Amino acid sequence: MLAVDPNLLAKSPIAQSQGSATASPWICCQIGGREHYAVPRALYRHCALGQMITDAWVRPGNPLGLLSAGLKARFHAELAKAQVYGPAVRSMAFELRARRSAQAGWPLVMARNRWFQQVALARLAQVAAGERAPVLMSYSYAAAELFAFARRKGWRTVLGQIDPGPVEEEIVDGLHAAAPRAGSDWTRAPSAYWSEWKRECALADRIVVNSSWSRAALLQEGIHADKIRIVPLAYERPPESVAFRRRYPSSFSRTRPLRVLFLGQVNLRKGVEPLLDAIRLLSGEPIEFSFVGPVQIAIPADLRDNRQVHWHGPAPRPATGQFYKDADVFLFPTFSDGFGLTQLEAQAWNLPVITTRFCGEVVEHGRNGWILPEITPHSIAQMLRECLRDPARLQAASDLSGVDEKFGLVEVGREWMKVFE
């Protein structure tokens, strides 16, 4: 029998204030620890999580956690008392088989998605619905078989769309065609990948996207507007960021340059190509650029050892806070992102953000940051010159920066539970 954890009902501050749990319990299916299990956690806070099904769940003290830091991270204390199924041993066995067979790229991604759905289906077959049929939520590209099963059971289905779908692929394909010397090994997804996605969309009662940009992209693919709901990503700022306040100098100079941070995957989709050209336009100006994240392009020779540019490579999540603290402005010139959680991470440290309209709605232009009118080297360079010449505008934006309550777990959970309204 699927039921909400009674222990949670007694302890939840929401349950205590409202006196009862919400309606149908949710079953959340997800591969990996996406967003630190934000959706299951958000639903759990509202006493609405029936159970979570994932590929690996490693509780503290489990010897498997000693084998891999990745496996050790497959746990969240907030869900310690929730009903969670995650066969870590079977997950390890799958990955070992894939490694031995030299499976990689899209074939591996699709094989992992199929494997997970078989694991989840076996678990779902053991679920007996109670008085209210559950809601089955699964993330895109690993949901079609799960939704087909749920439909036969009379359950409602919700697809968590993680990106803007085929529209984004077309954008990225165009970027790579225009920059053949970028050195990336990016390839288009097989047609079968998108066929399964369209099947998921057809079987989903609701499709949750994280931004207006993603909604527009799905509408372009013919997804009916009545199915789509916008719910932003959930984020909880680090406790140490709450009291942090930044102060800017009266002017920038060679001894105190403007410090620009780019944090995330260093690839064409994220706007790196026009950014690198903008750096060339700003040569000689008192500006430094820090790139933090996996580099997925060939770094141009003239910028590899440039004193204005620092290539830090990937950084563990606990270490990213220092990069945000040290920066003066966060640059996120993305061509397409379902949301872009780094915007909220920057705002948590009162760091103004320069971004585009092709991602989640975090920046209010001229208030806590700026939205580029176009993603070009000249547009990026012009925006940075304005910051360089007027540190007071950075200070004003920093003073108004922060993380709105609408991005908190409680509010995001409430929005997920309203998708059928």
- For the record, the structure tokens of 323 come out as 């990069």
pLDDT digits (tens, 9 = 90+) for 145-171: 999 999 999 999 999 999 999 999 999
Tell me the two tokens of residue 27: 């079953």
Indicate the pLDDT class of residue 181, thresholds 50, 70 and 90: confident
**8 Å CB contact between 24 and 131:** no
Which one has a higher pLDDT value, 76 or 19? 76
Where does the pLDDT of residue 96 fall: very low under 50, low under 70, confident under 90, or very high at 90 and above?
very high
Residue 131: pLDDT band (50, 70, 90) is low
For residues 230-247, one letter each, b for 16 or more C-beta atoms within 10 angstroms of the residue's C-beta and e for the rest, the string is bbbbbbebeeebeeeebe
Is the pLDDT at 6 greater than 80? The verdict is no
pLDDT band at 12 (very low <50, low <70, confident <90, very high): very low
CATH architecture for residues 239-402 = 3-Layer(aba) Sandwich (3.40)
Q: How far apart (Å, rounded) are the C-alpha atoms in residues 323 and 277?
A: 23
Non-local CB neighbours of 412 within 8 Å, separated by 6+ positions? 38, 39, 42, 231, 232, 233, 234, 406
Which pLDDT band holds residue 23 (cuts at 50, 70, 90)? low
Out of 96-100, 207-211, 223-227, least confident range: 96-100
pTM higher than 0.85? yes
**Where do the domains of the chain lie?**
6-235+407-417, 239-402
Angle, helices 166-178 vs 212-220, to 10°: value is 90
**Whose CA is closest to 288, among 270, 267, 313, 312?**
312
In the predicted model, is pLDDT for residue 182 greater than 90? no
Q: What angle do CA 48, 211, 260 make, to 5 degrees?
A: 115
pLDDT exceeds 80 at position 15: no
pLDDT at 21: 41
CATH of 6-235+407-417, one of 3.30.565.10, 3.40.50.2020, 3.40.50.970, 3.40.50.2000: 3.40.50.2000
pLDDT of residue 64: 86
Overall average pLDDT of the 48-70 stretch: 91
What pLDDT is attached to residue 17? 34
Q: What is the DSSP letter of 78?
A: G
Helices 105-124 and 88-100, interaxial angle, to 10°? 150
pLDDT at 1: 38
Whether 312 contacts 292, CB under 8 Å: yes
Same fold, 6-235+407-417 and 239-402: yes
**DSSP state letters, 289-305:** EEEES-B-SPPPHHHHS
Which tokens go with 420? 């059928």
Each residue's pLDDT tens digit, 346-395:
999 999 999 999 999 999 999 999 999 999 999 999 999 999 999 999 99
Q: Does the pLDDT at position 142 exceed 90? A: yes
Select from 279, 257, 278, 275 the least CA-distant residue to 266: 275
236-257 residue pLDDT tens? 999 999 999 999 999 999 999 9
Q: Which segment of 27-41, 67-81, 201-215 scores lowest on mean pLDDT? A: 67-81
